[in-house]
C-alpha cells in the first residue's frame, strides 16, 4: 500500500500543497518552521482522523481558513486496486471522511484504509512513558491482524465503565456489580489471549530488527497481563473488592496490561541512552510493520519526523536500510538536504524542499 498522490489544503501553514509521492522513500527537507512536520501531520490526519500533536483540530486548521482538507490516492497490491481517501474538518467543527466519494462512519475505517506508523520527537514515551503507550502499541498490531478485535475491545470498555460507575456509587447494587464483573472477566481474558499471541509473534521480528542496529544489547519483551498470572482474574477481583470500592475503580484486568521491555536484564528506559531509546522505538515499530506485512500482504506507511535528530550516521543508515528492505513507503523529514544525500545512495527516492508552506521537488 502506498500513496501515489497527496493533496493538502489549509493544514497549519500548508495552504495548498500537492505531492506526487514516491512509492518508497520520500525525503522532506527545509528550514525550521517551513512546514515539514505539517506534511506528516496531514498524512496522519488522513490515516487516524486526529492530529498527533494537538487534541483540538482547530489549531491545525490554517489561521486564515475555516476548514482543512486532506486527500490521497492510495494504491494497493492485488485486486483491490486504488482508492481515493479524503478527510475534512469543516468550519462548523464537523469531521468528515470519504472513501471513493462515500462517507465513512468512523475513524476505525480510516485506520483500516491507511495503516501508518509515526516516529517523532515524542515517541520515546513508548519506552519511558506509562503503560498506556505500550498497550496502544500492542492494540494497533492486534487490531490490524485480528478481525473482531475492535468489537471485543469496545465491549470490554463498556463493561469496565459500567463496573467502575457502580464502584463509585455510595450504595452498591450487588446484582449489577456481579453482572458486570461476570461480563468483564471473559472479555479481559480474550483480550489477553490476543495480545499475548501477538506479542509472542512480534518479539521474533523485534529481535531480528534490533539485531541489525549496532549496540542495542540483549532484548527481552515480557507481557504483563494486568493481574497476577498465577491467579484467575475472578480470584483477583474477589481479593480486590475492598480496594476497588475504596478507590472507585477496577484495579486489575486487561486495562492494566503492559509490556516490560528489558535490555541486558535491566528496564530499557533506565539502561539506554536517548539515541538508543529512539533506535529501540524504531525497532519496535519497524517490527510491527514487518508483522503487519506478513499477515496481510500489504505494507504500512511510515512517517519519520526529523530522522537525523539523535541518531548518528551509522544508525540512520541502518534504519533506512531496514525500511528499504521492507519495501514500504516512508516519509522522512530533516532540516538539511545533505543529511539525506549520502543516506539514500542506491535507494530509489524522491526529495521535496519545503519553504514557507510550499513544497517543490528538490
Ligand atoms: N494554524 C496555523 N496556521 C498557520 N500557520 C501555523 C498554524 N499552526 C502552526 N503554524 C506554523 O506552521 C509552521 C510549520 O510548522 P512545522 O511544525 O510543520 O515546521 P517544521 O518545518 O517541521 O519545522 P522544524 O524544523 O522546526 O521542526 C510553523 O512556522 C508554525 O508556526
Ligand atoms: Mg518539524
How far CA 252 is from CA of 235, 240, 269, 335, in Å, comes to 11, 8, 24, 46
Confirm if 221 and 287 have CB atoms less than 8 A apart.
no
- How sure is the predictor about 65, in pLDDT bands with cuts at 50, 70 and 90? very high
Q: What are phi and psi of 99, to 5 degrees?
A: -120, 120
Q: Which domains does the chain have, with CATH numbers?
A: 1-115+298-362 (3.40.50.300), 124-297 (1.20.1050.90)
- Span 126-181, pLDDT tens digits: 999 999 999 999 999 999 999 899 999 999 999 999 999 999 987 778 999 999 99
Pocket probe for ligand 1: among 8, 9, 10, 12, the residue whose CB has the most ligand atoms within 8 Å is: 12
Do 41 and 53 meet the contact criterion of CB atoms below 8 Å apart? Answer: yes
Cell of 316: 540512520
**Does residue 56 surpass a pLDDT of 90?**
no
247-279 confidence digits (pLDDT tens): 999 999 999 999 999 999 999 999 999 999 999
Quick one: average pLDDT of 6-20?
Answer: 98
- What is the mean pLDDT of the segment spanning 51-79? 92
Q: Best substitution site from 10, 14, 15, 37 to test ligand 1's pocket, by max atoms within 8 Å of Cβ?
A: 37
The pLDDT mean for the chain works out to 95
> What pLDDT is attached to residue 228?
97
Q: CA Rg, the chain, in Å?
A: 22
Cα of 310 to ligand 2 centre, how many Å? Answer: 14
C-alpha of residue 306 to centroid of ligand 2, in Å = 7
Side-by-side strand order, sheet with 266-267? 219-224, 258-263, 266-267
- So what's the pLDDT on residue 79? 77
Kindly state the DSSP code that residue 165 receives in the 8-state scheme: H
Model confidence band, residue 6 (pLDDT cutoffs 50, 70, 90): very high
Given this model, what pLDDT does residue 107 score?
A: 87
pTM of the model as a whole: 0.95
Average pLDDT on 197-224 reads: 95
Is 248 or 55 the better-scoring residue by pLDDT?
248
For residues 282-304, average pLDDT: 96
| pLDDT value at residue 78 | 79
Query: 108-117, 170-179, 192-201: which has the highest mean pLDDT?
Result: 192-201
Instruction: Check residue 172 and give its pLDDT.
Output: 76
- Which residues neighbour 146 within 8 Å (Cβ) at sequence distance 6 or greater? 194, 198
What is the distance between the alpha carbons of residues 330 and 338, in angstroms, rounded to a whole number? 18
To test the ligand 1 pocket, which listed residue (27, 34, 60) has its Cβ within 8 A of the most ligand atoms? Answer: 34
**106: exposed, middle or buried (C-beta count within 10 Å: 0-12, 13-18, 19+)?**
exposed
Rounded-to-integer distance, Cα 30 and Cα 20, Å: 18
- Pocket residues: Cβ below 6 A from ligand 1: 12-13, 30, 32-38, 59, 61-63, 335
pLDDT band at residue 17 using 50, 70 and 90 as cut-offs: very high
**What are the helix (H) ranges across 8-69?**
36-48
Q: What pLDDT was estimated at residue 18?
A: 98
Q: Which residue has the higher pLDDT, 359 or 216?
A: 359
CA distance 149 to 289: 18
Distance 89 CA to ligand 1 centre (A): 18
Taking alpha carbons only, the member of 322, 336, 289, 358 closest to residue 25 is: 322
Instruction: Give the CA distances from residue 55 to residues 52, 66, 132, 135, in Å, rounded to whole numbers and listed in that order.
Output: 8, 18, 17, 20
Amino acid at each position: 500500500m502506498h500513496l501515489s498522490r497527496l493533496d493538502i489544503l489549509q493544514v497549519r501553514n500548508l495552504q495548498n500543497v500537492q505531492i506526487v509521492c514516491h512509492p518508497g522513500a520520500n525525503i522532506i527537507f527545509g528550514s525550521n518552521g517551513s512546514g515539514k512536520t505539517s506534511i506528516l501531520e496531514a498524512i496522519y490526519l488522513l490515516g487516524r482522523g486526529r492530529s498527533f500533536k494537538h487534541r483540538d483540530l482547530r489549531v491545525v486548521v490554517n489561521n486564515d481558513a475555516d476548514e482543512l482538507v486532506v486527500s490521497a490516492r492510495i494504491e494497493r497490491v492485488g485486486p483491490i486496486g486504488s482508492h481515493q481517501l479524503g478527510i475534512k474538518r469543516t468550519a462548523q467543527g464537523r469531521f468528515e471522511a470519504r472513501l471513493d466519494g462515500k462517507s465513512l462512519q468512523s475513524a476505525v475505517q480510516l485506520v483500516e484504509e491507511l495503516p501508518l506508523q509515526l516516529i517523532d520527537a515524542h515517541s520515546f514515551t513508548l519506552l519511558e512513558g506509562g503503560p498506556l503507550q505500550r498497550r496502544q502499541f500492542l492494540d494497533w498490531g492486534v487490531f490490524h491482524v485480528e478481525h473482531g478485535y475492535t468489537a471485543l475491545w469496545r465491549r470490554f470498555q463498556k463493561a469496565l465503565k459500567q463496573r467502575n460507575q457502580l464502584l463509585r456509587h455510595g450504595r452498591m447494587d450487588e446484582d449489577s456489580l456481579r453482572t458486570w464483573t461476570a461480563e468483564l472477566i471473559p472479555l479481559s481474558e480474550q483480550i489477553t489471549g490476543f495480545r499475548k499471541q501477538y506479542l509472542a509473534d512480534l518479539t521474533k521480528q523485534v529481535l531480528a530488527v534490533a539485531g541489525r542496529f549496532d549496540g542495542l544489547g540483549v532484548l527481552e519483551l515480557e507481557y504483563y497481563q494486568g493481574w497476577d498470572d498465577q491467579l484467575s482474574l475472578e480470584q483477583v477481583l474477589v481479593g480486590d473488592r475492598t480496594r476497588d470500592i475504596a478507590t472507585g475503580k477496577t484495579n486489575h484486568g486487561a486495562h492494566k496490561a503492559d509490556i516490560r521491555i528489558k535490555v541486558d536484564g535491566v528496564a530499557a528506559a533506565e539502561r539506554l541512552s536517548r539515541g538508543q531509546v529512539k533506535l529501540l522505538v524504531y525497532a519496535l515499530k519497524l517490527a510491527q510493520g514487518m508483522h503487519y506485512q506478513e499477515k496481510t500482504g500489504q505494507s504500512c506507511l511510515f512517517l519519520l519526523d526529523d530522522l537525523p535528530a539523535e541518531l548518528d550516521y551509522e544508525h540512520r543508515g541502518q534504519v533506512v536500510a531496514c525500511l528499504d528492505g521492507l519495501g514500504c513507503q516512508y516519509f522522512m523529514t530533516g532540516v538539511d538536504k545533505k543529511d539525506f544525500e549520502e543516506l539514500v545512495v542506491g535507494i530509489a527516492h524522491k526529495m521535496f524542499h519545503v519553504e514557507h508552506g510550499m513544497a517543490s521537488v528538490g
